[in-house]
Chains A and B, each alone.
Chain A
Amino acid sequence: MSESALDEAWLEASAAALGLPVSEAWHANVLLHARLLESLAREFIDREFDPELPAAAVYRL
Chain B
Amino acid sequence: MSPPPAHTSARELAAWVRAGGSAEQLIEQRYQAIRLRDPAINSVRQLLLSRALARARDIDGQVSRGIDPGPLAGVPFGAKELFDVRHLVTLAGSRVRATAPAAERDAAAIERLEAAGAILLATLNMDEFAYGFTCENAHYGATRNPHDLGRIAGGSSGGSAAVVAASLLPLSLGSDTNGSIRVPAALCGVFGLKPTYGRVSRRGSFPFVDSLDHVGPFARNARDLAVAFDALQGPDSEDPVCASRPADTTAFALEEPLGALRVAVLGGWFAQSAESGALQAVQRVAHALGATQTVQLDEAGAARAAAFCLSAAEGGALHLPALRRDAAVYDPATRDRLLAGALQPARIITQAQRMRRLFLRQALQQLQEFEVLLAPSTPFAATPVGEAHTILQGQRWLVRAGLGLYTQPLSFIGLPVLSVPVVMPGSLPLGVQLIAAPWQERRLLQLAAWLEDRGIIAAPQSAASNG
Given contacts A40-B309, A43-B302, A50-B358, contact A15 B343 (CB under 8 A): yes
**Segment 3-60 of A: residues with Cβ below 8 Å from B:** 11, 14-15, 18-23, 26, 29-34, 36-37, 40-41, 43-45, 47, 49-50, 53-60
A30 contacts across to B, CB distance below 8 A: 336, 339-340, 343
Chain B, residues 160-201, CB within 8 Å of chain A (1/0): the string is 000000000000000000000000000000000000111000
The residue in A11, A32, A47, A59 that gathers the most chain B C-beta atoms within 10 A of its C-beta is: A59
**Whole-angstrom distance between the Cβ of A34 and the nearest chain B Cβ:** 4
Q: Is B439 among interface residues, defined by CB-CB distance under 8 A? A: yes
Q: Is B301 among interface residues, defined by CB-CB distance under 8 A? A: yes
The reply to whether B305 and A44 form a contact with Cβ atoms under 8 Å apart is yes
**Whole-angstrom distance between the Cβ of B407 and the nearest chain A Cβ:** 16
Chain B, residues 221-241, CB within 8 Å of chain A (1/0): the string is 000000000000000000011
**Segment 351-383 of B: residues with Cβ below 8 Å from A:** 351-358
* In the complex, residue of chain B having the shortest beta-carbon distance to the beta carbon of A50: B358
Q: Is B402 among interface residues, defined by CB-CB distance under 8 A? A: no
Query: Could you say which of B323, B324, B341 contacts A37, with CB atoms under 8 Å apart?
Result: B341
The reply to whether B306 and A61 form a contact with Cβ atoms under 8 Å apart is no
Query: Could you say which of A14, A15, A47 contacts B355, with CB atoms under 8 Å apart?
Result: A47
A58 contacts across to B, CB distance below 8 A: 210-211, 240-241
**Whole-angstrom distance between the Cβ of A56 and the nearest chain B Cβ:** 7
Query: Could you say which of B305, B335, B343 contacts A34, with CB atoms under 8 Å apart?
Result: B343
Q: Is the interface of B mostly helix, strand, loop or mixed?
A: helix
**Whole-angstrom distance between the Cβ of A1 and the nearest chain B Cβ:** 19
Query: Could you say which of B210, B342, B355 contacts A57, with CB atoms under 8 Å apart?
Result: B210
The reply to whether A61 and B353 form a contact with Cβ atoms under 8 Å apart is no
Q: Is B332 among interface residues, defined by CB-CB distance under 8 A? A: yes
The reply to whether B340 and A41 form a contact with Cβ atoms under 8 Å apart is no
Task: Report the separation of the CA atoms of residues A57 and B318 in the bound assembly, to the nearest whole angstrom.
Answer: 14
Given contacts A30-B339, A55-B353, contact A41 B305 (CB under 8 A): yes
Task: Report the separation of the CA atoms of residues A49 and B344 in the bound assembly, to the nearest whole angstrom.
Answer: 20
Given contacts A21-B327, A29-B332, contact A60 B198 (CB under 8 A): yes
Query: Could you say which of A15, A34, A37, A57 contacts B308, with CB atoms under 8 Å apart?
Result: A37
A residues lining the B interface (CB < 8 Å): 11, 14-15, 18-23, 26, 29-34, 36-37, 40-41, 43-45, 47, 49-50, 53-61
| Given A20-B320, A59-B357, 7 new contacts (CB under 8 A) | A20-B343, A21-B327, A30-B339, A37-B312, A41-B344, A44-B351, A60-B198
5 A-B pairs with C-beta separation under 8 A? A21-B327, A23-B328, A40-B309, A43-B301, A53-B358
